[in-house]
Amino acid sequence: MADSNIEIDEGLYSRQIYVLGVEAMKKMSASNVLIVGLKGLGCEIAKNIILAGVKSVMLYDPQAVEIADLSSQFFLHSEDVGKPRAQVSAPRLAELNQYVPVSVLDKELTPEDLAPFKCVVVTDLPLHDKLELGDYAHKNNICFISTEIRGLFGYTFNDFGEQFVVEDTTGEESLSGMIAGIEQSADGIVTCLDETRHGLEDGQLVTFNEVQGMTELNGCEPRRVKVLGPYTFSIGDTSSLSAYSRGGLFQQVKEPSRVNFASFRDALQAPEFLFSDFAKFERPAQLHVGFQALHAFSAANSGKLPRPGNDEDAAEVLRLANEINDKCEQKVELDVELLKKLSYQATGDLSPMVAVFGGLVAQEVLKACTGKFMPINNFMYFDALECLPIGFEPSEADLAPTGSRYDGQIAVFGRKFQDQIANYREFLVGS
């Protein structure tokens, strides 16, 4: 429950308050968030939730900055190469919002470190470590989000625990309307004024005020609706109430929804998918196997991902994917070309993909903190392969890293493409 004594800067957060409401903002202002991984995606998520106004943000990423990180992590500079990512990012992120303290976890991350947080977002970690953190979070009712981007591929996963309460599933204004009549009968049929449709749906709850005659309905316990027509609905037995005289208003009462989430470990074995593109209906299940195969490849190769455009590494990823698929209860037909592209792009890091998933995941963090709007339940996979030119068949040499800040883009589109856009001049109107 939100602390009623929390004060919100209504000038700073006015547009958010318009969407979320004051109570949701107070819940958010009482929520501590941990971000694990400060490459482009982690930084984008951190930036968004700091601007949104959570209570505090803690960062964890002791890995040294690499020149390729500058492809999508806009808070890093070339002189930061070799320094810990979280340490150099924290002071720059802290400047975004004076009301949100930003700190760094400067010890080895353990599951017990998750205890103080309302929500934990994990980006760049080995799968084994993600599973350990996910198990602890699920057991202790901590909202857990796992997300990754690999070139033009990405996914996000939510586990907000068992019986997570969504106070408002849509965020829309509660419906209300003027009443023309209420029958004193077993069905209790309510008729609205002819020119105003009630807009209600079966199963929704309503209460009443300003009703004359049948005054027992004023401020009554919410009654469940059965829609009979655009201007009429039933509220159940009213035969024992006083006779309706005139006037009155109905008001929809929003009913909290309880949602059960599977743990990350359980969801890996029995995933459910939110489809982002029904034209790619078969891909989420294949990418689910493919991302696990990338983790298996990394674990077997000292944390290294497949080399861009390398057929030998791609063949190994495909072999691992087939092994994982054979152990699944529900086997999927794997698209060799799809998994080959996933392997080729595994080291890819694109700013537009970071922006898309950074905004999406930050939104899920706010849902976790406020209970407002229905969160993604389980996995959502996404790819933007349409961005590749038709007939795009780059060589391994064209995709190979060059030791520049653009290696994350070169791994996806190639060096020739990077040379082309380096010569473009853009004029941007508006900001």
92: Cβ contacts below 8 Å, ≥ 6 apart: 75
Helix (H) or strand (E) holding 143: strand 143-150
Q: How many Cβ atoms from other residues are within 10 Å of residue 294's Cβ? A: 22
pLDDT of residue 3: 53
Q: Does residue 56 sit in helix, strand or coil?
A: strand
8 Å CB contact between 178 and 258: no
CA distance 3 to 357: 31
8 Å CB contact between 398 and 414: yes
Instruction: Give me the count of residues in the chain.
Output: 431
pLDDT of residue 251: 95
Query: Tens place of pLDDT for every residue, the chain, 431 residues?
Result: 455 567 777 778 888 877 778 888 888 999 999 999 999 999 999 999 999 999 999 999 999 999 999 999 999 999 999 999 999 999 999 999 999 999 999 999 999 999 999 999 999 899 999 999 999 999 999 999 999 999 999 999 999 999 999 998 888 888 999 999 999 999 999 999 877 899 999 999 999 999 999 999 999 999 999 999 999 999 999 999 999 999 999 999 998 999 999 999 999 999 999 998 888 999 999 999 999 999 999 999 999 999 999 999 999 999 999 999 999 888 899 999 999 999 999 999 999 999 999 999 999 999 999 999 999 999 999 999 999 988 888 899 999 999 999 999 999 999 999 999 888 888 989 86
pLDDT of residue 431: 64
pLDDT of residue 5: 64
